[in-house]
Amino acid sequence: MSFRRLLTRIRRRGTVRLGLVPVSQLESNPAAKGAWRATGDDPQFACATSGYPLSGGWYRVDLDFEPLDDKISAPQLYFDYGEGLSEARSAVLSFVKPNAVRHTGIVLLAKNTISVRFDPAIASCEFRVRRLRIRRVSRTAAALRMLRAVHARYAQLNERRLFFSRSLRNLARRGGLGSFATWLYESYLERNAEQLSYERWVKLFDRRSERFDAAALAVRSQRPLPRFSVLIPTFNTPERWLRRCLDSVLAQTYPHWELCIADDASDRPHVRKVLAEYAARDSRVRYVVRPERGHISATSNSALTLARGDYVALLDHDDELHPEALQAMAEAIVENPRLKLLYSDEDKIDAHGVRFEPYFKADWNLDLLRGHNCFSHLGVYSLELMRSVGGFREGLEGSQDWDLIFRCAERVGPGAIGHVPRVLYHWRAIPGSTALAPGEKSYAHVSAMRAIGEHLARTESNAQVLELPGLSGTFRVRHTLPSPPPLVSIVIPTRDRVSLLRQCVESIVDKTTYPRYEIVIIDNGSVEPATAEYLAGLADRLFIKVIRDNGPFNYPRLNNRAVAAAKGSVICLLNNDIEVITPEWLDEMASQALRPDIGAVGAMLYYPNDTIQHAGVVTGVHGVAAHVYSGMPRGYPGHLGRARIVQSMSSVTAACLVVRRKLYEQVGGLDEKLAVAFNDIDFCLRLGAAGYRNLWTPFAELYHHESASRGLEDTPEKQARFFHEIRFMRERWTGVLEADPAYNPNFTLYGEPFTLAFPPAEPRSKALVAGRYANTEREASLTSRLRRASGDDPIELVLQTEE
């Protein structure tokens, strides 16, 4: 027997062959072997075999895959670890290149896997797939391959030194090649999947109108269309970026604009030459040159003197506008003529024109704006409003636009502020720019702190702005408690599992710094002697009250009954599986809840392994609602730092929720028709409907040993109740769940929150949600379909172990 044949026989031992069976949105092309057509944006192959489960570990993927048209494919593998298929348990095969046929990369199966699904594309397209081979590899082999890939990406961006410093720092901190491989995989995904995902998203969905119909918009408006004055302050701008900036204005599809430029006495001769050239080219371009330097506030005011439009759009001298930026703003104004302030989403653009790091923003969110500047860019202001507040203030350079937003918003209120959820502004990220490193201009950080502090002095006398160490340009606003502080009633439903209750109560007593609270425990039919003994022992503590309730478990009823027996003017709903981390947790939550416009306040909750369990809730995701950043490590910044900033959220979990008693009673407490699930979401939405803003703060941190005393939804009765509660929520909050103002329609409604939607839901619609339910039903029948699956010529998926 030849050596090659012997080696082949050895390698085939333990091989599992699977057939790729089309599940949805796929049509075969009989004219070409292995050719397929994706008929929608969610085509799926199920991988059928009798060889499951696949053991967890590192795998090398070899894929023969060839796009047959110029559309984006973005193949992806989904792994079911016994918890169902979801975006969180998937791997984008970002190593698939558009101009190649054979592709190789690394994936990690985090646990034993009971099924695999292969999604070949994210939009309608044609492709050929012939072979998908997955082979088990060692950690070392996986690390070496990923190391080469990540290094190549850093090298492409001229960041080799940064690559080596980060590699060494993480290797030293975590220790050992195995742990280092885990960090490397995170970098591998970040450097490939996320960025390539956004690049694909831009190519697929950042489509531009073939023609702008100004006449049709004028008919809709029934008044003159708005005219925009685009303000650009310049100073020694490199010619390349200055031309790119000016060209982006001249390329606008919307014709009613003027370009108002003020140069801050640049000493580089090309600046004045370029400005004169563009002014001669288009009569809408006008400029002035200041006789002496005044910095950006003074220069922006000089540009403002040239403005004759209805609205002002701010553009930095090296950034770019999307071609439809002013068109989109004009359409928003026509739709809602009350708008005086408008802002858009944005991204960054590098020296090579590559767009990255999009900021898909929330709708108007005052507390988030106090934490970081989520308004700029693109910011558009009523010219009359801007002049009425005095334009830009000198002395606040670097954050002059942030200060301007506060002063304008204080004048008009939230009803006149609009958000256009499109990326209309590209922020230049080059060395020395704040886009690339916010700490590049420390004076901007100091100015921002002053702008926020003076805004607070004008609007809220009992608040102060604090810096967040290591987070330049990001701040915390602390609200002062009244003296004396109000009594807070901490309501804790419980049933047996006395170790959890003891941990909860003792952590409150031992760590909480808030001076006035009582604990109201409502025991729902505990039967364990140890529980009875512990509850009896609490009678000696005057600030603890125990109530008995032997009825069936109904979380709202238990809380409503306990609140009725409580004495405090502030209520804290707390699960019995909560453990306090930060001593000031209740000071922070109560001080926020006492603000007159605030409804419910939620906390940062972690699982015991220091991963995030709750950082606020977004509605519409997965049909009703989902926790954001769940499973991410403690300290994770979130989307553009949002996991580190106080902000309005549509909902927060009642596992730890603080609200004024008056508001709790005003909206009728928790709805007892929602016995277990979504009652907190419903409660928060009713507070929102009553005109209050719900808030989430990362500065109250607690552990959550989630639902440990209640158990899982693991019986037909519990599952039937759960689906009834889903239907209840969808009927009561039709049209509300899918339009969460703290979220963005460019984010998914069916995967992990704050990940890109393919395609974006714009506008959000009931039809999209209904489509997701259809997908859920399809997932439910996947196992039985796999068992029946067989094909005359199945594509093979080969798994084998590499020593």
Mean pLDDT for 367-390 is 97
3-state helix, strand, coil in the chain (%, to 5): 35, 25, 40
Residue 479 is inside which H or E element, if any?
Answer: strand 475-479
Amino acid 498: pLDDT: 96
More confident residue, 630 or 41: 630
Residue 517 has phi, psi (to 5 degrees) of: -150, 160
Please write the tens of the pLDDT for every residue from 451-488.
999 999 999 878 999 999 878 889 999 999 999 999 99
pLDDT at 48: 79
* pLDDT tier, 169 (very low <50, low <70, confident <90, very high otherwise): low
Lowest mean pLDDT among 38-47, 354-363, 580-589: 38-47
Q: What pLDDT was estimated at residue 771?
A: 27
- Is pLDDT of 593 > 70? yes
Mean pLDDT of 188-208: 69
Average pLDDT for 30-40: 85
Task: Name the band, by pLDDT with cuts 50, 70 and 90, for residue 7.
Answer: very low
Q: Which long-range CB contacts under 8 A does 209-212 form with residues at least 24 apart?
A: 209/253, 209/324, 209/327, 212/253, 212/254, 212/255, 212/324, 212/327
Report CA-CA distances (Å) from 231 to 86, 316, 330, 333. Answer: 45, 8, 17, 19
Average pLDDT over residues 37-50: 85
515-531 pLDDT, tens per residue? 999 999 999 999 999 99
Closest CA relative to residue 45, chosen from 93, 88, 83, 11:
93
pLDDT in tens, 545-569: 999 999 999 999 999 999 999 999 9
Name residues whose C-beta falls within 8 Å of residue 57's C-beta, 6 or more positions apart in sequence. 108, 109, 136
- Work out the angle at residue 130's Cα, subtended by the Cα atoms of residues 126 and 134, and round it to the nearest 5 degrees: 120
Confidence at residue 778, expressed as pLDDT on a 0 to 100 scale: 32
Q: What is the pLDDT of residues 710-721, one digit of tens each?
A: 445 557 787 788
SS3 per residue for 621-685: HHHCEEECCCCCECCCCCHHHHHHCCEECCECCCCEEEEEHHHHHHCCCCCCCCCCCCHHHHHHH
CA distance 68 to 87: 26
**258: phi > 0 → left, psi -120 to 50 → alpha, else beta; which?**
beta
Answer whether residue 579 shows pLDDT above 90: yes
What pLDDT shows up at residue 713?
54
Q: What is the pLDDT of residue 769?
A: 26
Place of tokens 């020395």: 432
- E strand intervals along 315-403: 320-321, 341-349, 355-359, 379-382
Least confident residue range of 56-60, 160-164, 358-362, 733-737: 160-164
pLDDT in tens, 745-787: 999 887 789 988 877 875 432 222 222 222 333 333 333 333 3
* pLDDT value of position 716: 77
Q: What is the pLDDT of residue 561?
A: 98
Report the share of the chain in percent with pLDDT over 70.
84
Q: What is the pLDDT of residues 237-257, one digit of tens each?
A: 999 999 999 999 999 999 999
Pairing verdict, β 228-234 and 257-263: parallel
For residue 739, give the amino acid letter: A
Lowest mean pLDDT among 150-154, 169-173, 314-318: 169-173
Amino acid at 382: S
Instruction: Measure the CA–CA gap between 759 and 748, rounded to whole angstroms.
Output: 8
| Helix residue ranges per DSSP H, 696-765 | 716-732
Q: What tokens appear for 184 in the block?
A: 């490397």
In this prediction, residue 787 carries a pLDDT of 32
Residue 133 banded pLDDT, cuts 50, 70, 90: confident
**21 pLDDT above the threshold of 80:** yes
Q: What would the mean pLDDT of 62-84 be, rounded to a whole number? A: 83
Q: Residue 11's pLDDT is what?
A: 43
User: Once rounded to an integer, what is the mean pLDDT over residues 65-71?
Assistant: 82
pLDDT of 189 above 70: no
Q: Is the pLDDT of residue 793 over 70?
A: no
pLDDT tens digits along 535-550: 999 988 989 999 999 9
Supply the Cα-derived Rg of the chain in whole angstroms.
29
Mean pLDDT over 790-798 rounds to 41
Q: Angle CA(281)–CA(285)–CA(288) in degrees, nearest 5?
A: 120
The CA distance from 759 to 747, in Å, is 9
CA separation for the pair 554, 674 (Å, rounded): 8
Q: How far is CA 517 from CA 420, 489, 656, in A?
A: 44, 6, 15
Instruction: Report residue 189: phi and psi, to 5°.
Output: -70, -45
| Average predicted confidence (pLDDT) for the chain | 86
Task: Note the pLDDT of residue 785.
Answer: 32
Query: Which two tokens mark 327?
Result: 């068109």
Taking only the tens place, the pLDDT of each residue in 109-124 is: 888 999 999 999 877 8
Residue 3, pLDDT > 50, answer no
Q: What is the pLDDT of residue 631?
A: 86
Retrieve residue 169's tokens: 């720092």
Distance separating the N- and C-terminal Cα atoms of the chain: 22
What is the model's pLDDT at position 153?
A: 67
Is 295:263 a contact under the CB 8 Å cutoff? Answer: no
